[in-house]
């Protein structure tokens, strides 16, 4: 599941293969930008802010978001794609590399001077060089919603997704429905930052430290299974800022009283 670490890892790879080269093929297979063509412009950089991936190409910014199913692939010219062509939503090629974005949740092209409209609403990013723990703590302290809902709000912290939130609340023994303003936020954030900075370097996200298959999560996706710490059956419910935005919540009623 794409989260902040996935977006940053993806952006770093795209930057490695594209930055400094001239774009030879540019296609956005979405109705509102299907006629855009940046071929001939130089790919300056690719970076991630939270879960958002930003290509700077010439005077434009290509904004994409992986959402649930999206992926960016990099291929050498002539290599076969590993996903079907009908799933391709964005193509950015150079002489040395072909990059393809499949099933992207957001594909948009904006003038460079408007890039801030994408990033300004986002909270501090744990993987950013300018991570501001104090600002993130203040935003969360003012949020009186359930901790699970507040941590998922990208305007509080940019990058934590449902997988991280479930695992972090377990590790800090916090019931997901506890008001965020009642939680000891500083150590929770510190744990989240350390976990994300470690996971961005790993091929497979891990929260337990156990690299064996199926042993990498404490509670996420483990409904009905025994808690790895106390043996209590893991429960599942849904929480969201609105009923239609509810997300799956996993917790141990003993370890997270």
Active-site annotation holds for 51: yes
Please state, in angstroms and rounded to a whole number, the distance separating the CA atoms of residues 102 and 88: 4
Q: 3-state DSSP: the chain helix, strand, coil percent, rounded to 5? A: 30, 25, 45
Active-site annotation holds for 96: no
Structural tokens at position 138: 């203040």
Structural tokens at position 135: 């600002």
- By the 8 A CB rule, do 86 and 79 touch? no
Catalytic annotation, pick one of 198, 228, 247, 248: 247
Active-site annotation holds for 31: no
- By the 8 A CB rule, do 94 and 66 touch? no
Catalytic annotation, pick one of 3, 89, 167, 176: 3
Active-site annotation holds for 67: no
Helices and strands, counts by H and E, the chain? 6, 10
- By the 8 A CB rule, do 110 and 61 touch? yes
Strands laid side by side in the 71-75 sheet: 25-28, 88-93, 98-102, 71-75
Q: Which DSSP helix (H) or strand (E) runs through 20?
A: none
Catalytic annotation, pick one of 51, 89, 145, 222: 51
Please state, in angstroms and rounded to a whole number, the distance separating the CA atoms of residues 172 and 27: 45
Please state, in angstroms and rounded to a whole number, the distance separating the CA atoms of residues 64 and 107: 5
Q: Which residues are catalytic?
A: 2-3, 51, 247
């Amino acid at each position: 599941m794409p989260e902040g670490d996935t977006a940053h890892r993806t952006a770093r790879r795209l930057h490695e293969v594209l930055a400094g080269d001239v774009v030879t093929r540019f296609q956005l297979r979405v109705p509102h930008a299907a006629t855009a063509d940046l071929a001939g412009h130089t790919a300056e950089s690719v970076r991630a802010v939270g879960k958002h991936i930003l290509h700077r190409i010439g005077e434009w910014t290509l904004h994409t978001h992986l959402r649930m199913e999206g992926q960016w692939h990099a291929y050498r010219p002539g290599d076969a794609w590993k996903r079907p062509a009908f799933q391709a939503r964005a193509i950015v090629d150079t002489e040395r590399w072909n990059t393809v974005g499949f099933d992207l949740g957001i594909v948009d092209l904006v003038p460079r001077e408007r890039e801030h409209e994408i990033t300004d609403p986002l909270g501090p990013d744990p993987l950013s060089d300018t991570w501001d723990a104090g600002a993130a703590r203040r935003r969360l302290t003012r949020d009186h919603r359930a901790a699970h809902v507040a941590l998922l709000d990208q305007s509080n912290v940019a990058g934590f997704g449902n997988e991280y939130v479930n695992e972090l609340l377990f590790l800090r023994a916090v019931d997901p429905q506890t008001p965020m303003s009642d939680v000891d936020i500083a150590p929770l954030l510190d744990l989240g930052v350390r976990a994300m900075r470690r996971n961005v370097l790993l091929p497979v996200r891990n929260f337990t430290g156990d690299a064996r298959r199926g042993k990498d999560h404490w509670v996420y996706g483990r409904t009905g299974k025994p808690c790895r710490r106390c043996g209590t059956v893991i429960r599942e419910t849904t929480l969201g800022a609105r009923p239609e935005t509810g997300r799956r919540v996993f917790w141990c009623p003993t370890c997270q009283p």
